Structure 1
């Protein structure tokens, strides 16, 4: 909940509270009809604030995730080949889907998850 909604709810509570007090005071022996109008208006404004704060959608932000790999020392790269057709794959064919590296072959359109083989 953002700060604007919290402020709107607090202001609505204050307006409704004092509006009810004004309405109640109208029926006292020294009450005036003007207090009734002020009370009704402040209660209505309070409910409008609650309605506005409840209906206003929370702001959304688009997030881009960038994965950078820091390879230690001297690393020799082998070419990656498609398991289906044997076509050479590049880094543009690798994407991250649900936290796992997925390869899409540009030649045969086969999609599969990359698995790391043991080094021994």
Structure 2
């Protein structure tokens, strides 16, 4: 099981840290907030890169980084599915865990 702690910018698997590049982490957070829903390319670009102009190719690059970090396979995805020419969908069930105010909420996948 993966745990995503957005507030602390931390991803773990079985309690061990998983290295995820910053923009890829931002994209993972955006996808993880809406599991099962299609996130259009423009929505992801705005969520992660703000209003700066970047091409769609950055999404492909960060998704590739996420496949590596999560041990996912683009041909048989378990976590992130590419919806051709439209966007991406987070496939794993996400569970929001409530923690005391002193710690940030984790999302498990």
Could you say which TM-score interval applies, normalised by the shorter chain? under 0.3
**Which of the pair is proportionally richer in helix?**
1
> Which structure has the larger Rg over C-alpha atoms?
1
Considering Cα pairs closer than 8 Å and 6+ residues apart, tell me whether 1 or 2 has the greater RCO. Answer: 2
**Which of the pair is proportionally richer in strand?**
2
Q: TM-score, normalising length from structure 2?
A: 0.26
